[in-house]
Amino acid sequence: MSVLKAGFDMALKLKVRDMELYVPDTDTTYNIEIANSNFSRNFQEIEEIVVKGMEFIISKTELDAQSIVKPERNWRIIDTDLGEFTISEVKHMIGLGGEILGYRLRTN
């Protein structure tokens, strides 16, 4: 593990929450640590439409420990306090040298 990846994982550990990652295709639920990115959307769009959502960050190390290759759209994040969120976008978080450190999960 690179020093950058270890630092990334350590920083996420400061604010991770135990959540569930639900995969509807296989009806499988994983207990996993996910960090809230402290970014939420509540933008007003055309014709008074409001777009709401949150972003979460998950470490590649955490996914590897659960044997999950990569999160996908339409999977769900379930938190007992925050509620249930459907993943609408998955973005790679890439470190120096092209190593995948984790994923930013946007929800709606």
pTM confidence score: 0.83
Say if residues 21 and 75 touch (Cβ distance below 8 Å).
yes
Tens of pLDDT, residue by residue over 72-86, are: 999 999 999 989 999
Q: Name the residue range of residue 52's domain.
A: 3-107
- Work out how many domains the chain is built from and give that number: 1
> Could you report the per-residue pLDDT of 24-74, keeping only the tens digit for each?
999 999 999 999 886 555 555 566 665 667 899 999 999 999 999 999 999
